Amino acid sequence: MEWQCIVDAPLRAAENMERDLAIAEAVAARRMPPTLRLYAWWPPAVSIGRNQDVAEACDPVACVAAGWDVVRRPTGGRAVLHAADEVTYSVALPLEQAPPGVLAAYAWLARALVAAYRRLGLPAELAPGRHLAARSGACFDAPAAHEVVVGGRKLAGSAQVRRAGYLLQHGSLPVTFDPQLHASLLGLAPDAAGMLARQGAGLRNFIDPAPSRAEIVAAVAAGFEEALGVAFANPGPGVLRHTEVGGV
């Protein structure tokens, strides 16, 4: 299965979401092959799910005061903090090439993330095949079915949308996970930080010093090759390049 891999420099939140959609539409129109995109955010941002209310999903005043953008994702799910040091992935596939059903696609793509984290030295695994009750509006407050965990703590947050012709899934691979900052920017109850500290994690919680961005990017690309049988069209396995998509 031949894909391409795009590695982007940090962009503003709205630009990142526009670029994900532009790539997905290009994939659906067969102007691009299935695509794994790896990117970053500057300034850092809070993304909220397409069905969330902004005022309920985060504290916009606190976000502005902290210098964080707020953006609505085209995908569902709950609010996610995208710190400057995280690696974000997105996958755009023609719909007929995706596993049938949202959960089946989550489980399939999660295999690649598990393989990536194991390459970084973590005993990652998939959460049980059931949905756990959400405790708040934060994505990282509990692992859902087929999400990636280490020691029961959620290490990646993903969201998906299916539209005419394509599947788009993207997700956060945090390096630093700050429960207090989550509680502050999302306007959560005072006891939420402790719960988030027990349920969520970043790479730095398990590996110190944390891997570099280049090491994480290489591990994710290799994880897709290993777990999904992907062959990137870039010159050489795991060799990544920047690609322009419709000027986005």
For 39-77, the pLDDT digits (tens) are 999 999 999 999 999 999 999 999 999 999 999 999 998
In degrees rounded to 5, what are phi and psi of residue 87? -110, 125
Least confidently predicted of 45-54, 85-94, 181-190, 235-244: 235-244
Is 139 among the residues known to form the active site?
yes
Which of 49-53, 145-149, 214-218, 222-226 is predicted least confidently? 145-149
pLDDT: is 209 or 135 the higher one? 209
Q: Are 119 and 223 spatial neighbours (Cβ–Cβ below 8 Å)?
A: yes
Determine the Cα–Cα distance for residues 89 and 226; give it in Å rounded to an integer: 17
pLDDT of residue 133: 46
Domains of the chain: 2-232 (3.30.930.10)
| Residue 139 pLDDT exceeds 90 | no
pLDDT of 124 reads 97
In angstroms, the CA 196 to CA 135 distance is 10
In the chain, % of residues over pLDDT 90? 80
pLDDT at 140: 47
Catalytic residue among 5, 58, 63, 139: 139
Average pLDDT over residues 71-96: 96
Q: Cis peptide leading into 209, omega within 30 of 0? A: yes
- Asked if pLDDT for residue 236 goes beyond 60, the answer is no
pLDDT at 239: 39
Average pLDDT score over the chain = 89
Tokens representing residue 152 in the block: 């029961």
**Can you give the pLDDT at residue 127?**
86
Backbone angles phi, psi at 46, to 5 degrees: -105, 125
Per-residue pLDDT of 162-196, as tens digits, reads: 998 999 999 999 999 999 999 999 999 878 999 99
- In this prediction, residue 132 carries a pLDDT of 45
The pLDDT score that the predictor gives to residue 130 is: 52
* Of the candidates 133, 143, 136, 144, the residue with the CA atom closest to the CA atom of residue 187: 136
Pairing of strands 166-173, 157-163: antiparallel
pLDDT at position 1 is 81
